[in-house]
Structure 1
Amino acid sequence: MDNTSAFAPKYRRIADALRREIGDGVLGPGQRIPTEPELAERFNVSLPTVRQALSVLRSEGLLESRHGIGSFVKETNRLQRSGWRHYGRARVDQKLLTPHLRHEIVAAGVEPVPSHVADLFPEGTTHVVTRRRHLFDKATGRPEEIGASYIPMEFAAGTYLEEPSVVPKALFLCIEELSGKQYARAQDRLIARLATADELTVLELAPGSPVVHVVHCVTAEDGTVLEVAENVWPAERTVIVNEYPITTA
């Protein structure tokens, strides 16, 4: 559980924990979640607190109640995207950010900086190490994401990141090791648009389908750009969840 959720009400912490398990595939679609007494014992809280947490998840469309049976993860074609939580989880288990999906690296190597992300790199940057990936549902083989990561040459050139193979743990952990710097700050640009012809083909979408295009720029504490990543998700299959503290300053 991250430091932010440690200060949240108990019911929110329970909802956060179960939401993460649903998002990471620990609790799959159609699966019955533990009973209310079991959850109360697991989290050391009262039954009303558990019920309040489950109510939050039902309102988000993640759970459904079946009278006399229990609560189940709702069957849905949408994937919940809440990337910032995954950094903390990946640091602990040393796995990929999205271990519930099958990763395929379709290209890796030195490329010119794409024009649509060039403004995120220091002036004068002309080339980066690029890793392009397609992600698939492990059970059905359905394509779920088109992604790419652009990494400064000073950290990645001549390293294993130029090889078109899946790294053994989250890419950000590899970049931290190679750069000697830690991910400290991120900026996300979310763009809703129609899919390109190539995206329609790769994601197996109908003509005119919308996508969510996310550009994710991460810097170290000293402002050094460590990675610019982008992901394209089918809009009809995507739910984006952002949860963050609201400061009073």
Structure 2
Amino acid sequence: MDNTSAFAPKYRRIAEVIRQEINAGGLQPGQQLPTAQELGRRYDASLPTVRQALSVLISEGLIESRQGIGTFVKETDRLQRPGWRHYGRARADQKLLTPHLRHEIVFAGVEPVPAHVVDLFPDGTTEVVTRRRHLYDKETNRPEEIGASYIPMEIAAGTYLEMPTVVPKALFLCIEELSGKRYAKALDRLIARPATSEEVSILHLADGAPVVHVVHCASAEDGTVLEVAESIWPADRTLIVNEYPISTEA
């Protein structure tokens, strides 16, 4: 085993060896690992110690346990999330912001403003039209995103946005038509955190797996908030790409 971790607990030394083998390509994405018994013999370790080591790698998103089959190196196909460039592309092709994924609206209607985004709305705002969605890979049906949009009542109340159906084009284009205003400015908050039990269930994650939680507030040129949206992505499947001009002025 790796002598650089000689003073670490044995399960962590085993995890480090397997981690290095994965990173070096000795174990490929989708490849099945030896059984716990075989790993125990290889590293002269007890089954509880081997299972501790595997638990570490599962929590890091490097491997996954498939019930009744075995333990496998996780696929590393990360979805690119190119941020604000979605807007220009959607204006051109009049499609959804993520047309490569299958959208399912799981709720649409009036709700109280969630506590974690209430500061993004004008003072006194108590209710919004909420649209909650789950997004899936079209080929494998693997869940890739949990999302929600919170739209001011004066824009969306009593409109088709209260219907639990996928809109025919990007939601921001629908909101622009209904409000008569254009998206001009955005504020994004990105948080990395452990998945909640509900997110673990929906996204098919291991307990404690990390997620990226993005809150996106879009407003018009006059400062009117048009939409607050949030997205939750499995961290091990997400690549965030932002490209933007850099000011040359002081």
> With structure 1 as the length reference, what TM-score do the two structures score?
0.70
2:205 equivalent to 1:212: no
Larger Rg over CA atoms: 2
SS of the residue corresponding to residue 116 of structure 1 reads helix
Deviation digits for residues 58-86 of structure 1 (CA, Å, limit 9, x no counterpart):
xxxxxxxxxxxxxxxxx942101112111
Name 1:180's counterpart in structure 2.
Answer: 180
SS of the residue corresponding to residue 115 of structure 2 reads coil
- Cα distance in 1 for partners of 2:188, 2:150 equals 15
SS of the residue corresponding to residue 174 of structure 1 reads helix
Supply the AA of the counterpart residue of 2:184: A
Conserved? CA contact 2:136–2:145, under 8 Å: yes
Name 2:241's counterpart in structure 1.
Answer: 241
Supply the AA of the counterpart residue of 2:95: K
Name 1:116's counterpart in structure 2.
Answer: 116
Name 1:97's counterpart in structure 2.
Answer: 97
SS of the residue corresponding to residue 116 of structure 2 reads coil
- Cα distance in 1 for partners of 2:86, 2:76 equals 21
Runs of 4 or more consecutive aligned structure 1 residues displaced over 3 Å after TM superposition: none
SS of the residue corresponding to residue 229 of structure 2 reads strand
Name 2:77's counterpart in structure 1.
Answer: 77
> With structure 2 as the length reference, what TM-score do the two structures score?
0.69
Name 1:192's counterpart in structure 2.
Answer: 192
Q: CA deviation at 1:208?
A: 1.0
- Cα distance in 1 for partners of 2:110, 2:123 equals 18
In structure 1, list runs of 5 or more residues that go unmatched.
1-74
Deviation digits for residues 103-155 of structure 1 (CA, Å, limit 9, x no counterpart):
00000000000000000000000000000000000000000000000000000
Q: Structure 2 matches for 1:138-157, cutoff 5 A?
A: 138-157=138-157
Name 1:161's counterpart in structure 2.
Answer: 161
- Cα distance in 2 for partners of 1:164, 1:214 equals 23
- Cα distance in 2 for partners of 1:129, 1:106 equals 14
Q: CA deviation at 1:232?
A: 0.1
- Cα distance in 1 for partners of 2:128, 2:210 equals 29
In structure 2, list runs of 5 or more residues that go unmatched.
1-74
Supply the AA of the counterpart residue of 1:202: I
